């Protein structure tokens, strides 16, 4: 068993209203110096050793993310 | 005539409806702006529904920091009646005026339906006009309506009789103990997910069961 | 990312006439490109090429449909035009409904984007139509969404439908607009080509009508709303690269990950974000749009807007060229002033960006400060990007260099016009000859009873609750009727009770059998639905969804549908105020069922007198208005039970529809429900379930035909005083049949068929969509 983390983020050129709302609120709350915020999704998967990288990539690209608007990164922890 | 403030944040949607409900109940609605730290002399405040700031971070998370909310928190601690409807309920929870939090609906969809509720407590500023245990129908419409709190908080709410409204026929969002609305310990602050302002006449809603909420505060508290 | 932006100026273009340009990649034909060179007297710059290519696309220029759409104007009489304040050619049609109120309404398609990215495609479809309404000076008041998908049980439908429904809801709910109706239709022909049409209704005081034009030299052009990013410029991005090889559009939806050859992306460093692969997907931000709406309405109230235009498809290219060509002068735009979300954008990209939630206004110089103050109040970014000039050119500069210098009308209105070949496909004779007459029909009471249940639970007839519960129908507090009512109805004026009703309908199977009659049947149904609510139908909009205009058979369907609809409107005396055409809805050579969605707007003097959908009080008499014939071709029964589609659709009787509408408006009806797909059987099922009351019914004639025929011009009504009511029917020359009565029981009892208990019916009717979509 291993823990696999998949982080899904909106592509840099894609509008991210969520991140923008947070970024706009920060100065109102007195936090300065933060120029941009992007908001994504974080998945943690418990996987068997039999699951290879290619399978994980398929899960990430076709299901956890929509490659039309999102990028992803897959990381195996321990 | 008693004045009831209705707050507008960017993204607030049901402010005109809440104001109309106050009018139907015989009160004078006063528009309050999120950016003004000023309650304009109102006798009570309604924090209406909508998607303040898009609800993009967490429902209510950004609105609670608005200048007007500082005034609301101070006034509420001093006993001013406050009603939070839907997004307003979420804002009051984020602001710490009511316990718990509202999470994504269990079905993961936005749900809009005519909802049966039981009035569990009539000794609040906003429910005095209902009969004890009254069954009412009020529209519910939300994405994040699932009431959640620690076991001890829920026990405390139940023990102190602070569960004001409970879903009866169906629990539309997976709320703990079918909780639809709760109050502060003194009963002056009430928050609920269903929308009483959309049940003020049979022409535009499922009935007029919501009107009593606005009449309650006008009749029993401010008179 | 800092890139040096290579700028192709007009001077550079004039001195380099032979530079090859990727006009074909941008969708322009050889002769279209030649014409642009003739207009300009030189080759276009990159920015000009981007503008012309997008504005001369089928979507923006209506180049294949224009010659046919003219027929709407030709058939509109002065009398029909009398109540129209604005019509075809404006952002949306506007109708005077009395008491000083004007209503604007329009429907538009967002089909392909919704296939690529269902949630965002549908969401931005709603956002776009709402801005169209806003640009007329109106407050948007309600939305409706006619949706069509492939077979209900197809895997791709499971991908597309939940996303589309969530997108429509996610955007509309967050915007605070009630969703008051629409359609959800399944047919295998829509697989790969879902139809996502979005309709919006808005209201304004008659004197507040704002038209899109830029008049008055010296007036300022202000861009406000969201920043401009690299949204929806997949096509134009070829101009940013040095070579055009290897461009991959990148709009394939991810249907089957296993079939993709892309290498697994496990290395964060290998994230792909190459400019060349930019998706043509836009992401909607309903919160920004909500704020933009309130900001615009405050600007209108202040009376400081000379002209206004929304930015939709074709972005600034469209907004600047349309504003300039509708005004009395030219325009100068300083493109470097446009607030950007991405770095290194070229002038062509800025002009083509389809970033959402943006508007463009023309403002007198003395009002600019006031304009900016209102925008600041709402935290809306506003930038003065140019001014109206006394010339007749649209000039766009980029840091002092001219990148666009064109006659604006040649971009916005004088695009190519095609007389595409039109020919009735030979196969049409076979389609018409394949009547449903020989299909086995149920005859025993048990068979009929079973067929009623089977039909009630079929995907097209089952309850839409799973969909409509995801839409807020209450917000704004003016919703008088919404789904599952025949028409949506909203109150416009709280003091007088004046309101409007709206319905949009189409049966693509009828249109496939006979496009002329099918379009009239769509009109008839929408008209009837509005009439059934008690309102007076007054105006029509449409969204014409068809296959490829390059197929003469499709063009024949289109031509026939336009003629049918226009002739029908002329007969009913209600004008078409606007519309939208969506072509290329096809996979390979197979087109969708021709789907001219027709929206009808009605007016009701006092919404308190609306007619509820369903059954009246127990004891009320049930009467069927109209006549029933053996008409099963194209019916839901033939589709569900036999998978059959052939023959002639039901006969159109618009004169009868008008009589029914008049009789319903006279009052005396406690509830009503129109008959359409599924015939009387379905109308009875829905009426009982919607009101939760039973009824006892006796059929006349062949019970199968009585139950399942889809003859048009029929409405089921409940009346407390049948003698008075039927006397009025007789007087109006309206045939009627006494069916039975509303009962105090909870079952639908049909003499000779049996009893259907409401709980059993409800389980069947309500169960289908949740079982399919969760």
In tens, the pLDDT along B12-49 reads: 999 999 999 999 999 999 999 999 999 999 999 999 99
* 8 Å CB contact of A73 and C268: yes
Query: What pLDDT does C235 receive?
Result: 56
Residues of C with CB below 8 A from A72's CB? 265
Cβ distance C530 to C94 under 8 Å?
no
Chain centroid offset of residue B174 CA:
18
Q: B51 and C474: CB-CB below 8 Å?
A: no
Active site includes C399? Answer: no
Backbone conformation region of residue C322, classed left if phi is above 0, alpha if psi is from -120 to 50, else beta: alpha
Touching check for C471 and chain B: CB below 8 Å?
yes
What pLDDT is attached to residue C262? 32
Which residue, C396, C412, C428, sits at the end of a domain?
A: C412
Domain that holds residue A42: 2-77
Q: Cβ contacts (< 8 Å) between A30 and chain B: which residues? A: none
Going by C-beta distance under 8 Å and a sequence separation of 6 or more, which residues neighbour residue C265?
A57, A60, A61, A71, A72, A73, A74, C271, C272
How many whole angstroms separate alpha carbon C642 and alpha carbon C633? 11
Q: Does C512 map to a domain?
A: no
The Cα of B52 is separated from the nearest Cα of chain A by a number of Å equal to 10
Strands C139-149 and C195-205, how do they pair? Answer: antiparallel
All chains having 3 or more CB pairs closer than 8 angstroms to chain C: A, B
| Predicted local distance difference test score (pLDDT) of residue C264 | 32
Note the Cα C423 to chain centre separation in Å.
27
Of the candidates B86, B94, B120, B198, the residue annotated as catalytic is B86
Helices (H), C378-416: 408-412
Cβ distance B54 to C476 less than 8 Å, yes or no, reads no
Whether the CA torsion C27, C30, C36, C40 is positive or negative: it is positive
Q: Report whether C538 contacts C603 (CB < 8 A).
A: yes
User: CATH number for the B3-221 domain, one of 3.40.50.880, 3.30.530.20, 3.40.109.10, 3.30.360.10?
Assistant: 3.40.50.880
Residues lower than pLDDT 50 in chain A: none
Please count the structural domains in chain A: 1
Cβ <8 Å between C471 and B112: yes
Cβ separation B57–A17 shorter than 8 A: no
Residue C168 lies in a domain: no
Q: Is residue C706 part of a domain?
A: yes
Same domain flag for C363 and C221: yes
Query: Could you give the count of Cα atoms lying within 13 Å of C774 in the half-sphere of its Cβ?
Result: 11
Does residue C47 have a cis peptide bond before it, meaning omega lies within 30 degrees of 0?
A: no
CATH of the domain at A33: 3.30.1280.10
The token pair at B142 is 């939300």
Say whether both C228 and C351 belong to one domain. Answer: yes
The reported pLDDT for the residue numbered C236 is 61
Asked if the C-beta of B113 comes within 8 angstroms of chain C's C-beta atoms, the answer is yes
Asked if the structure places residue C477 within a domain, the reply is no
pLDDT of residue C265: 33
Taking CB atoms and an 8 Å limit, are B112 and C174 in contact across chains?
no
Q: Determine the residue of chain A that is closest to B35 in CA distance.
A: A28
Strands C595-604 and C536-545: antiparallel
A30 touches chain B (CB under 8 A): no
Three-state SS across chain B?
CCEEEEEECCCECCHHHHHHHHHHCCCEEEEEECCCCCCCCCCEEEECCECHHHHCCCCCCCHHHCHHHHHHHHHHHCCCCEEEECHHHHHHHHCCCCCCEEECCCCCCCEEEEEEEEECCCCCCCCCCCCCCCEEEEEEEECCCEEECCHHHHHHHHHCCCEEEEECCCCCCCCHHHEEEEECCCCCEEEECCCHHHCCCCCCCCCCCCHHHHHHHHHHHCC
CB C230 within 8 A of CB C349: yes
Residue C580, annotated as binding a ligand: yes
Count of structural domains within chain C? 2
ipTM value of the model?
0.96
Q: What is the CATH number of the domain that holds C385?
A: 3.90.650.10
The alpha carbon of residue A6 is apart from the nearest alpha carbon of chain C, in Å, by 10
Residue B109: active-site member:
no
Q: CB within 8 A of C432, min separation 6: which ones?
A: C513, C514, C646, C647, C648
Question: Which chain A residues are Cβ-neighbours of C341 within 8 angstroms?
Answer: 15
Rounded CA separation C52/C62 (Å): 14
Question: Catalytic site residue B156?
Answer: no
Geometric angle at alpha carbon B179, from B178 and B182, rounded to 5°: 170
On whether both C693 and C618 belong to a single domain, the answer is yes
CB pairs < 8 Å spanning B and C? 85
- Clarify whether residues C324 and C362 are in a common domain: yes
Q: Which of C493, C672, C503, C519 is nearest to C602 (CA)?
A: C503
Beta bridge partners of C489: C481, C501
Residue C733 lies in a domain: yes
Strand partners, A28: none
- Cα–Cα distance measured from residue C286 to residue C124, given in angstroms and rounded to the nearest whole number: 9
Residue B193 has phi, psi (to 5 degrees) of -80, -40
- Of A14, A76, A8, give the one whose Cα is nearest residue A47: A76
- Residue C369: inside a domain: yes
Residues of chain C where predicted confidence (pLDDT) is lower than 70: 1-6, 88-89, 211-212, 234-280
> Kind and range of the H or E element at C395?
strand C394-398
Distance from CA of B133 to the nearest CA of A (A): 41
C-chain residues within 8 Å CB-CB of A24? 379
A21 to B65: CB separation less than 8 angstroms, yes or no? no
Per-residue DSSP letters for C721-735? Answer: -HHHHHHHHHHHT--
Instruction: Report the alpha-carbon distance of residue B180 to residue B115 in Å, rounded.
Output: 10
Q: How many CB atoms lie within 10 A of CB C449?
A: 16
Let me know whether C616 and C727 are in one domain.
yes
* Interface contact C470, partner B, CB < 8 A: yes
- The active-site residue out of C6, C12, C68, C110 is C110
Nearest to C265 among A21, A57, A59 (CB): A57
On whether C560 is known to bind a ligand per the annotation, the reply is no
pLDDT at B116 over 90: yes
Measured distance CA(C464)–CA(C110) in Å, rounded: 21
Q: Answer for the pair B87, B195: CB distance below 8 angstroms, yes or no.
A: no
**Separation of alpha carbons C558 and C183, rounded Å:** 21
Residue-range definition of the domain harbouring residue C754: 439-456+612-765
How close does chain B come to C603, measured CA to CA in Å?
17
Confidence (pLDDT) at C208:
84
Mean per-residue pLDDT over chain B, rounded = 95
C62 labeled binding residue: yes
- From C163, which residue of chain B is nearest by alpha-carbon distance? B109
Query: C251-270 burial, b for 16+ CB within 10 Å, e for fewer?
Result: bebbeebeeeeeebbbeeee
Q: Are C51 and C411 in contact (CB under 8 A)?
A: yes
Kindly give the pairing relationship between strand C694-697 and strand C747-750.
Answer: parallel
- Is C108 within any annotated ligand binding site? yes
Q: With an 8 Å Cβ cutoff, are B57 and A18 in contact?
A: yes
Specify the pTM. Answer: 0.93
The Cα B181–Cα B168 span in angstroms is 13
Tell me which chain A residue has its CA closest to the CA of residue C231. Answer: A14
């Amino acid at each position: 068993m291993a823990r696999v983390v998949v982080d899904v983020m909106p592509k840099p050129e894609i509008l991210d209203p969520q991140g923008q709302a947070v970024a706009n609120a920060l100065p109102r709350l007195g936090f300065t110096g933060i120029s941009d915020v992007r908001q994504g999704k974080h998945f943690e998967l418990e996987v068997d050793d039999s699951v290879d990288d290619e399978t994980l990539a398929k899960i990430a690209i076709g299901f956890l993310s929509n490659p039309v608007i999102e990028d992803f990164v897959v990381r195996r922890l321990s | 005539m008693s004045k009831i403030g209705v707050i507008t944040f960017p993204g607030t949607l049901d402010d005109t409806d809440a104001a109309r409900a106050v009018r139907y109940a015989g009160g004078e609605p006063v528009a309050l702006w999120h950016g003004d730290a000023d309650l304009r002399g109102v006798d009570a405040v309604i924090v209406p529904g909508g998607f303040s700031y898009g609800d993009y971070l967490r429902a209510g998370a950004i609105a609670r920091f608005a200048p007007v909310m500082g005034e609301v928190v101070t006034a509420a601690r001093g006993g001013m009646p406050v009603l939070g409807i839907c997004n307003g309920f979420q804002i009051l929870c984020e602001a710490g005026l009511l316990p718990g939090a509202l999470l994504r609906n269990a079905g993961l969809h936005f749900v809009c339906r005519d909802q049966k509720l039981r009035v569990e407590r009539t000794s609040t500023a906003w429910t005095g006009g209902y009969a004890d245990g009254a069954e009412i129908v009020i529209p519910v419409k939300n994405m994040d309506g699932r009431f959640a709190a620690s076991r001890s908080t829920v026990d405390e709410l139940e023990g102190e009789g602070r569960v004001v409204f409970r879903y009866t026929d169906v629990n539309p969002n997976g709320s703990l103990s079918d909780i639809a609305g709760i109050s502060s310990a003194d009963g002056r602050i009430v928050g609920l997910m269903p929308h009483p302002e959309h049940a003020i006449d049979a022409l535009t809603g499922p009935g007029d069961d919501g009107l009593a909420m606005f009449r309650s505060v006008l009749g029993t508290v401010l008179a | 990312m800092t890139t040096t932006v290579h700028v192709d100026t007009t001077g550079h273009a004039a001195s380099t006439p032979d530079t090859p340009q990727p006009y074909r990649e941008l969708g322009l034909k050889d002769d279209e490109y030649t014409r642009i060179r003739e207009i300009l007297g030189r080759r276009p710059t990159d920015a000009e090429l981007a503008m012309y290519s997008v504005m001369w696309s089928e979507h923006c220029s209506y180049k294949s449909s224009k010659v046919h759409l003219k027929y709407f104007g030709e058939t509109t009489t002065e009398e029909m035009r009398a109540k129209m304040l604005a019509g075809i050619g404006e952002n949306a049609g506007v109708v005077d409904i009395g008491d000083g109120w004007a209503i604007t309404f329009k429907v538009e398609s967002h089909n392909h984007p919704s296939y690529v990215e269902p949630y965002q495609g549908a969401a931005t479809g709603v956002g776009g139509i709402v801005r169209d309404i806003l640009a007329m000076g109106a407050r948007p008041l309600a939305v409706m969404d006619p949706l069509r998908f492939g077979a209900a049980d197809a895997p791709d439908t499971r991908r597309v439908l939940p996303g589309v429904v969530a997108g429509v809801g996610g955007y509309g709910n967050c915007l605070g607009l009630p969703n008051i109706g629409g359609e959800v239709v399944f047919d295998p022909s829509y697989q790969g080509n879902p139809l996502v049409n979005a309709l919006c209704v808005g209201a304004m005081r008659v004197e507040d009508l704002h038209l899109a034009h830029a008049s008055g030299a010296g007036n300022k052009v202000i861009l406000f709303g969201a920043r401009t990013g690299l949204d929806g410029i997949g096509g134009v991005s070829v101009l940013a690269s040095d070579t055009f090889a290897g461009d991959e559009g990148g709009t394939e939806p991810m249907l089957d990950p296993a079939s993709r050859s892309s290498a697994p992306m496990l290395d964060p460093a290998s994230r792909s974000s190459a400019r060349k692969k930019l998706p043509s997907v836009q992401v909607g931000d309903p919160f920004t749009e909500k704020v933009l709406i309130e900001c615009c309405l405050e600007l209108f109230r202040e009376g400081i807007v000379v002209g206004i235009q929304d930015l939709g498809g074709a972005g600034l290219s469209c907004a600047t060229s349309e504003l300039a060509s509708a005004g009395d002068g030219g325009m100068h735009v300083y493109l470097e002033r446009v607030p950007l979300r991405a770095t290194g954008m070229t002038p062509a990209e800025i002009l083509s960006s389809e970033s959402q939630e943006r508007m463009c206004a023309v403002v007198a110089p003395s009002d600019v400060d006031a304009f900016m103050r209102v925008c600041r109040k709402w935290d809306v970014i506003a930038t003065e990007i140019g001014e109206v000039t006394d010339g007749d050119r649209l000039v766009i500069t980029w840091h002092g260099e001219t990148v666009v210098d064109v006659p604006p009308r040649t971009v916005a209105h004088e695009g190519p016009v095609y007389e595409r070949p039109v020919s009735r496909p030979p196969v049409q004779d076979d389609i018409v000859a394949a009547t449903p007459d020989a299909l086995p029909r149920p005859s025993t009471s048990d068979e009929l009873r079973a067929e009623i249940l089977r039909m009630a639970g079929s995907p097209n007839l089952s309850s839409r609750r799973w969909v409509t519960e995801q839409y807020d129908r209450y917000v704004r507090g003016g919703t008088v009727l919404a789904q599952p009512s025949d028409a949506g109805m909203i109150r416009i004026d709280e003091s007088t009770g004046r309101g409007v009703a709206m319905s949009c309908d189409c049966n693509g199977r009828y249109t496939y059998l006979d496009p002329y009659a099918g379009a009239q049947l769509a009109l008839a149904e929408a008209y009837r639905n509005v009439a059934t609510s008690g309102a007076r139908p007054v105006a029509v909009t449409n969204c014409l969804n068809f296959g490829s205009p390059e197929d003469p058979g499709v063009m024949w369907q289109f031509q026939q549908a336009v003629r049918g609809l226009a002739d029908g409107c002329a007969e009913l005396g209600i004008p078409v105020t606007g519309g939208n055409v969506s072509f290329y809805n096809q996979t390979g050579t197979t087109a969708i069922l021709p789907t001219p969605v027709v929206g009808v707007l009605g007016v009701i003097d006092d919404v308190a007198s609306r007619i509820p959908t369903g059954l009246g009080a127990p004891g009320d008499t049930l009467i069927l208005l109209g006549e029933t014939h053996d008409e099963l071709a194209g019916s839901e029964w033939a589709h569900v039970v036999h998978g059959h589609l052939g023959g002639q659709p039901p006969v159109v009787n618009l004169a009868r529809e008008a009589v029914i509408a008049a009789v319903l408006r006279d009052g005396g009806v406690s509830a009503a429900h129109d008959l359409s797909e599924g015939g009387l059987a379905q109308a009875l099922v829905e009426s009982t379930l919607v009101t939760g009351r039973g009824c006892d019914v006796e059929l006349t004639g062949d019970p199968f035909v009585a139950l399942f025929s889809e003859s048009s011009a029929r409405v089921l009504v409940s009346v407390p005083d049948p003698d008075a009511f039927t006397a009025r029917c007789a007087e109006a020359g309206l045939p009627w049949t006494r069916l039975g009565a509303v009962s105090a029981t909870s079952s639908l009892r049909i003499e000779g068929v049996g009893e259907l208990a409401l709980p059993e019916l409800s389980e069947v009717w309500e169960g289908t969509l949740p079982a399919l979509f969760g």
